Structure 1
């Protein structure tokens, strides 16, 4: 079976990477630890590795509702204990009376240090508390260098994962029909905007599909795709139910409340 035919062309490099990990574990009995994977990458990883009895694997992101996770792939006889995933929870506080910080502010401050997004897991900002899950190898660097965000002075400390602020996301489900699975057509329905506004937003780089900017209105969506429109929140194409008698696609999508 050609695994590539089941995924988009732009995903082929990541498929090659997972196949390389698989080969190294199989040939050299190595244990492979990935960077943080987004949900789409996790799906690809699971599809390629499957239930092969020669391997043991898991995905861990620090909490029950973690979105971004590190993968460990190992020979079947290995025990994948928690410390094998090498993730750390850092927490800092700031005075909400004097300053307001958003998820975007914190992420931007971390990335401005030259840290790559793949080294970061989930990030939470709420009521003066910042929690960020990081690859353990960059923990000392962040603690030493991330001392200010905007005008707030912040000191990050390692915390146990038992203290993590879990997400309580609520998704609202809707059923509709669309003339095609083009990105502009589906964005129009999901966000209740005109098709012209949907297309313009896409072309301006305001729309992401599976955490990557897509600037082509003609991009064709697939079941399970996660979308976001800047300023309008997240949505996901949960199910594609096939064509109606009027040759329209019946879909179910969810929007984050």
Structure 2
């Protein structure tokens, strides 16, 4: 792999770049597909950039449904034609006493992580406001089904579902165009949620935001393509595209926005 590829990404992303290079080498050496765990959107962007469109290896993503955020990547040689079954994804529905209890994304996520299940093993967690479902790697499905019998103090049962039984998620991204003088986290939060720059800076410094699902406390940090910031109490922002500069030398941006 060209050593110059590192300069296009952050230093902290170097280990993941090395990992992608290893996957490519394995596909080349063994001449068979390689299936990753679930990747976040930023990692998917890195895979796209490194594998490219014109090499001997190709890639495809699947997260269980078209609008999935977290997806598995299948990297494969030219001869291979992927099918949905090749992604080995299992959908679960959470059965719980809906009349007496409520679930939340945080409760479901926390239960899975606290059970010792790596974040890479499960994909999107979805709700229609009443029902809850989530995706996992098929190889871990039996283990997760036996381990998860409670969420908080709520007794639950996980039922395997076919992907055709997927609920329609309540939360949906809206696409918004905006301009910004920089790609700083605090500036974008301020612009999208119409709050002061000082208020957005405090949110970041006080640990109220996550960058790609990790707590992050640097308000001056500049976002890259596909990054997602989660702002507690406000929603989420994803940098979808940088569309160029305006006449006033501001960035023209396409954002995905979730508002609470």
Task: Give the TM-score normalised by the residue count of structure 1.
Answer: 0.89
Does the CA-based 8 Å contact 2:237-2:256 persist in structure 1?
yes
SS for the counterpart of 1:34 is: strand
Pairs within 5 Å for 1:189-200 = 189-200=191-202
C-alpha distance in structure 2 between counterparts of 1:186 and 1:209, whole Å: 13
Distance 1:20 1:101, change over 3 A: same
C-alpha distance in structure 2 between counterparts of 1:82 and 1:249, whole Å: 38
Between 241-250 and 26-35, the greater mean CA deviation after superposition: 241-250
Task: Please name the residue that 1:6 is paired with.
Answer: 8
SS for the counterpart of 2:65 is: coil
C-alpha distance in structure 1 between counterparts of 2:238 and 2:105, whole Å: 20
1:111 and 2:82 aligned: no
Pairs within 5 Å for 1:41-190 = 41-167=43-169, 169-176=172-179, 178-190=180-192
Deviations along 1:56-105, one digit per CA (max 9) or x if unpaired, are 43211111222211112122222323332221111122222211111111
C-alpha distance in structure 1 between counterparts of 2:110 and 2:146, whole Å: 17
C-alpha distance in structure 1 between counterparts of 2:251 and 2:57, whole Å: 39
* Corresponding pairs, count: 256
Does the CA-based 8 Å contact 2:45-2:226 persist in structure 1?
no
**Cα displacement (A) at 1:225:** 3.1
Does the CA-based 8 Å contact 2:74-2:87 persist in structure 1?
yes
C-alpha distance in structure 2 between counterparts of 1:72 and 1:201, whole Å: 37
Distance 1:155 1:183, change over 3 A: same
Does the CA-based 8 Å contact 2:95-2:159 persist in structure 1?
no
**Cα displacement (A) at 1:242:** 4.5
C-alpha distance in structure 2 between counterparts of 1:66 and 1:30, whole Å: 26
C-alpha distance in structure 1 between counterparts of 2:244 and 2:238, whole Å: 17
**Cα displacement (A) at 1:125:** 2.9
C-alpha distance in structure 2 between counterparts of 1:89 and 1:34, whole Å: 17
Does the CA-based 8 Å contact 1:96-1:127 persist in structure 2?
no
C-alpha distance in structure 1 between counterparts of 2:98 and 2:188, whole Å: 38
1:208 and 2:229 aligned: no
Distance 1:98 1:15, change over 3 A: same
**Cα displacement (A) at 1:37:** 0.7
Task: Please name the residue that 2:35 is paired with.
Answer: 33
C-alpha distance in structure 1 between counterparts of 2:59 and 2:255, whole Å: 31
**Cα displacement (A) at 1:206:** 1.8
Does the CA-based 8 Å contact 1:101-1:125 persist in structure 2?
no
Does the CA-based 8 Å contact 2:92-2:133 persist in structure 1?
yes
Output the aligned Cα RMSD: 2.2
C-alpha distance in structure 2 between counterparts of 1:81 and 1:87, whole Å: 12
